[in-house]
Amino acid sequence: MWVVLPTGPRGLLDYWLRCDHRDGQPPPVVHEAATFEAELQAVASGRGISITTAARYYTRPGLAFPVITDAPWCTVAIAQSPQPQPTARHFAHLTQHIISATTAAPTD
């Protein structure tokens, strides 16, 4: 009943399919979509369900994006070479700035 995108490491797909809550067993996958757009189309056509982190960017008629509030947070990392290009260095700096601003303790 799940629509999935092809992934690299199996652990990533297991994370999204919540295999750790299913005794390590993945739920049935009914469709493997080649692109994110194809994944949304498969879900919209009723082929199955999927999980996405980009709901606010991909609103579509006929699709609902309920928020999963009890899923654990995941860690995302940025990897770059020891001498990154200026754009990569800027991206890493901007990302760190945004994370700091959004995770800072509120001030009264």
CA distances for 25 relative to 21, 30, 49, 68, 72, angstroms: 9, 15, 17, 20, 18
Give pLDDT, residue 104: 59
List the chain pLDDT tens, one digit each, 108 residues.
Answer: 667 666 555 556 666 676 667 676 777 778 888 888 888 888 888 888 887 777 777 778 888 888 878 877 767 777 888 888 999 889 888 988 888 887 655 555
Q: The whole model's pTM is what?
A: 0.56
- The DSSP symbol for 46 reads T
How far apart (Å, rounded) are the C-alpha atoms in residues 30 and 27?
10
Whose CA is closest to 41, among 29, 58, 17?
58
The domain spans of the chain are 2-57
CA distances for 41 relative to 6, 48, 84, angstroms: 15, 10, 37
Question: Any long-range contacts for 66-71 (C-beta under 8 Å, 24+ apart)?
Answer: 71/18
The neighbour count for residue 5, using CB atoms within 10 Å, is 16
